[in-house]
Amino acid sequence: MPLLEKEKRIRQAGGGRKSVVETMEGLDEAFLAMLKNHTAGSPMDESVKWSNLSRSEMAEKLKQCGFSVSMTV
């Protein structure tokens, strides 16, 4: 007897910890605003971009904006 799709799942869909972007309102906008002045790109390939900020510098700037984040977020 074939198992139904629902019976194949071990864990419930949507379970687990929510993304920090979902739980902290305005984090997305603050992150993009922070990167606006610290982003450069490749003149040969416009899809390649990078930032001159380290992860810890990004976390510190977001903390200054009122967000409690670690450097891994």
Per-residue pLDDT of 2-58, as tens digits, reads: 555 656 777 777 778 888 888 889 999 999 999 999 999 999 999 999 999 999 999
**Residue 61: inside a domain:** yes
The answer, yes or no, to whether residue 73 has pLDDT greater than 70, is: no
When divided into structural domains, the chain yields a total of 1
Domain-located, residue 55: yes
Whether 65 is covered by a domain: the verdict is: yes
Give the pLDDT of residue 59: 93
pTM above 0.85, yes or no: no
CA-CA distances (angstroms) from residue 52 to 6, 21, 34, 38? 46, 22, 11, 6
Residue 70's domain comprises: 24-37+49-73
